[in-house]
Amino acid sequence: MNIFNALMPIIALSMLAQPAAARTSTPPTAPEEEENRGFHGTTAVGVGVIPEYEGADAYRIIPLSNGRAYLDRRYIELDGLALRANLLNNSRIAFGPVAHLTFGRRDRIGSTAVAQLGRINDAYEFGAFVATTLPLGKSGDLRLALEGVHDVAQVHNGWIGTASIGYHRRLSTRWLVSGTASVSGASDDYARRYFTVTPQGSAASGLAAFNARGGIKDVGISVRAAYKVNERWSIQGVAGYKRLLGDFAQSPVVGREGNANQLSGGLGIGFHF
């Protein structure tokens, strides 16, 4: 049993015992805006650029849709490939379920060798998140978050866990910025599905056989900004960098045919209600 598998039950129990929210690409929200009562929120649509698959050095353009709708301090959040629901009406603590989508590998991708390893379907994962928000001054806040999900579609049958720390700050009446640093881990099952090259796969692709094990999967940073055009509309952007680690970076899927340095970004228009 590796370290991550040993820690995963502790992480899961921590998420159930203490409340806090995971990293988010949803446009940053000012602390004072979260204090509003009643129904309100923000939604945004745009375009983004992400790797073809995790570890790829080719990219694809995808539509982006993000948003958060509040009822008092409870909220439902669509955050890229994750859907979260905060069940607590609390200004400092958030806790609730999360559903997540992990893209697989399509038949047609940039790497012919990786394509020979076979198609991988998209994975649907379910779990929980917890987060705590600490005010820093009159216009900023620090957010500590923990999230864990498990595959329920029997694609990789594994766990993914993420811890993050983020800082949000309002620079003026129009500009709102945030930055987030995160670290993610994945189980052996996840690593085997996406990063292992079996002897049969090696014969078909020409890649060296490789048995990937779980552990710390990546570290990443992201920055986001929102410019308020008027009371209803805003322009929002996000840029991110992720570095794959350990077996996830050493696998021939990444080391020979891909890139351990993963970039992403997006630009959209937001509507406040």
Express each pLDDT in 108-154 by its tens digit: 999 999 999 999 999 999 999 999 999 998 889 999 999 999 999 99
* Whole-number pLDDT of residue 138: 84
* Whole-number pLDDT of residue 38: 84
For residue 163, the surrounding DSSP H or E stretch is: strand 159-170
Express each pLDDT in 194-253 by its tens digit: 999 999 999 999 999 999 999 999 999 999 999 999 999 999 999 999 999 999 999 999
Express each pLDDT in 148-185 by its tens digit: 999 999 999 999 999 999 999 999 999 999 999 999 99
Query: 13-27, 42-56, 157-171: which range is least confident on average?
Result: 13-27
pLDDT at 28 over 60: no
CB atoms inside a 10 Å sphere around CB 204: 15
pLDDT at 11 over 70: no
Residue 105 class from Cβ within 10 Å (0-12 exposed, 13-18 middle, 19+ buried)? buried
Q: Which two tokens stand for residue 135?
A: 């005010």
pLDDT at 19 over 70: no
pLDDT at 6 over 70: no
For residue 144, the surrounding DSSP H or E stretch is: strand 140-151
d(CA 142, CA 230): 26
pLDDT at 36 over 90: no
Give the CA radius of gyration of the chain: 19
d(CA 32, CA 198): 53
Express each pLDDT in 63-87 by its tens digit: 988 999 999 999 999 988 999 999 9
Q: How big is the CA angle at 263 (ends 181 and 196), to the nearest 5 degrees?
A: 95
Q: How big is the CA angle at 252 (ends 249 and 253), to the nearest 5 degrees?
A: 80
Ramachandran angles phi, psi of 194, nearest 5°: -105, -20
